[in-house]
Each structure stands twice: as structure tokens, then as C-alpha cells.
Copies of this chain bind each other. A is one copy, B any other.
Amino acid sequence: MVKKIKGQTLTYQNPPEIVASGSIVGPEEANGPLRDNFDLTSQDPKFNQKTWEKGEKQMISEIIGVTFDKASVTPSDVDLMLAGDLTNQITPSNFVARDFDIPYLGLFNACATFIEALNVGSMAMDGDFADCILAYTSSHYQTSERQFRTPIEYGDQYPPIKQWTVTGAGAFILGWKGGKVQITHSTFGKIIDLGRKNPKDLGSAMAPAAVDTLLQHFKDLNRGPQDYDLIVTGDLGAFGSKIFKLLLEEKNVDLQDKYEDCGNMIFDDSDKYGSGGSGPAVSAVVLGSTLIPDITGGNNNRILVIGTGALFNPLTTQQNETIPGIAHALVIEKKG
């Protein structure tokens, strides 16, 4: 029997399929370059609810409904839900899970949470502990700003290095049939902290972790950039991506034109969005709306996705702590 773990990388013997993926976004994203790719968009960041927080929950609920339909499954088919988000105590994920009669595991690795969820889900599927899994995540500009930085009404200055938290939610169904792509490997990342302290510059706090996980992934599978059609990070943004590539250059790794960052893809490069999009929803909605269709449409065969997270909160910043970064990766391939 082939060993399933090598270093930090898992190789699935029965790779689960991504049966369906749904994406919903708010007004800023709906006006961005990927506007035509999302399943649902809204010009109302409250999604017809009384508060932003209730709007975030509403957004997740709507896209889960769409995803169930796309996958032709019903809640009673689902063995396990895996979810998490940026809000304190991941309450948007919890409050959505409350509406379903399905076992639930909450996860948190900041903006790497969705890739973490897909990795734990793939492990549960390949390990024969589940036949159908729902993974979802969300982020929300207004709820994040007031929780992590300052309420937007304060009109705080927006430095070019800062990223714009994406308002959006993604839901994926993992199963054994009906999907056109599958998850073949997962790499679980370590925390890397090079001492960055600025909560408005998360890209450079996360980039070293993305480098560490990428190099570990290559080492574990004896692979390199030539083995992938695309290597994509979650939300390093313009500035973080630059650091990511510079750090890789130091290790003599050149990704050439195969590299993208979901945070850079979701907005145009106007000053409004600073260094680009961020939040766990970025990788979820860009994967679901654009990158997976690029595979099923025949443009790519095998991509490597690296979810990136900054594991701080306002109190740790007040207590003069640095910002630890983490990155989890997974490989998505076209079904043979």
C-alpha cells in the first residue's frame, strides 16, 4: 500500500470530487473583472438584512442553496459540514450550520480556512469517514473592518498596502460522482512568523508561509512548477505576491507566468482596493467561479492552490505581538 503521508503532504488513494461549487459576492466584487463568473451577486452589502452580520449569514445561506441544486444533492445526503470565517467565534458559519440537520465542525485558520476545510474534508472522504461533505466560508468588508480595524464610518486612511476584505461566500460539495475535478493532494502548513507587526499589511505577514508550504509541497512530491498549469495563492494581494515571488527567487524557484493570486484577480487595480482583495471568501469564490471552470473548460489540467492566513487579532496587536502566517495547499486535477 502506498503511504498516504510524506512530509506534510497527503496523497489521496480515492481522491474526492468537487461535485459542485457556488459563489456569491457583494457590490464591489460584482463590479470587478470576474463579474460574469459568480452564481449570485448583490448590490446590497446587507443582503436585505438588518445588520451586516445578519447579511453575511444570509449570503452564505443563499449560496449553499444554489450549490445543493448544482450538485443535485439535498441536505440529507450530506454526512458532514466543515466551515469557518473571520468573525469572532466564527458565528456566521455557526448560525448557518444551525439551519441544517447535519453534523458540523468549525475551523479557523483565518483566510486559509477554506483550503483547511477542503483538506480536512478530503481526508475524511479518502479515509472512508464520509461520502458527501459540504464546505463553506465567507468574509464581509464591513463586518471585518469594524472588528479588526476601525468601523468604516470613521473614515480611517486607507494606505496602498492595505487589502480590501472581500464580501462573498463560497460553498463546495465533495462527493464521489458527478464532479469534473478532484482533489488529489493536500499539504498542511506550519506557522511562519518573520516578525511583521502591521495589521494593515497582511500580505507580507503571509507570504513567507506561502513560500514555506509551496517548497514543502514540491519536496514531498518531488515536483516543481513544471508539474502545474497554474499555482495560485489565496489573498497575498499585489504587495504580498511581490514578496512571495522575491522569496522564491532567493530559493531559485521561478514560477514564470504560471502564478496568480486570487486577491489580485477579484478587483481591478484601482487605488480604491489598496493591495487587492483578502478574506477566506477570496479563494473560495475565485476557485468556484473562475479557476475550476478553467479546468473543466479545458484550459488547465492541474492546479495548486495555496490558501494563506494571518493569525492575529486586535488585542494581540495592542499587546505588541507579531503576526503569524499560515498556508495550506491542495491540488485540483481534471478527472481522467
Give the CA-CA distance A54 to B102 in the complex, in Å: 37
Q: Mark A92-136, 1 if CB is under 8 A from B, else 0.
A: 001101101111111111100000100010011011111100000
- The verdict on A248 contacting chain B, using a C-beta distance below 8 Å, is no
Interface of A is mostly: loop
How many residues on A have C-beta within 8 angstroms of the other chain's C-beta atoms?
Answer: 57
A95 to B191, CA, bound (A): 9
- Across the interface, A107 reaches (CB within 8 A) one of B86, B95, B105, namely B105
B116 touches A123 (CB 8 A): no
Question: A321: which B residues are within 8 A, CB to CB?
Answer: 95
- Which of the residues B80, B84, B89, B129 comes within 8 Å of A4, measured between beta carbons? B129
Inter-chain contact B128/A108, CB cutoff 8 Å: no
CB pair A190–B84 under 8 Å, yes or no, is no
C-alpha spacing A86/B90, complex, angstroms: 11
Binary interface encoding of chain A residues 122-153 relative to chain B, with 1 for a CB under 8 A from any of its CBs, else 0:
01101111110000000000000000000000
- Given the known interface contacts A103-B188, A105-B188, the answer about A5 and B95 at a Cβ–Cβ threshold of 8 Å is no
Whole-angstrom distance between the Cβ of A297 and the nearest chain B Cβ: 32
Partner of A315, one of B91, B108, B313: B91
- Asked if A259 lies at the interface with its beta carbon under 8 angstroms from chain B, I say no
Q: Which of A50, A101, A110, A313 has its CB near the most chain B CB atoms (within 10 A)?
A: A313
Whether the Cβ atoms of A191 and B98 lie closer than 8 Å is: yes
A128 to B12, CA, bound (A): 10
Q: Is the CB of B5 within 8 A of A91?
A: no
A131 to chain B, nearest CB (A): 8
Residues in B with CB closer than 8 Å to A89 are 86, 88, 108, 110, 311-313
A252: chain B residues at CB < 8 Å are none
Show 9 residue pairs from A and B whose CB-CB distance is below 8 angstroms, ordered by the A residue.
A51-B319, A89-B311, A95-B316, A97-B191, A105-B109, A106-B116, A120-B120, A123-B129, A127-B128
A contact residues vs B (CB 8 Å cutoff)? 3-5, 8, 10, 50-51, 53-54, 79-80, 84, 86-91, 94-95, 97-98, 100-110, 116, 120, 123-124, 126-131, 188-191, 193, 311-313, 315-316, 319, 321, 324, 326
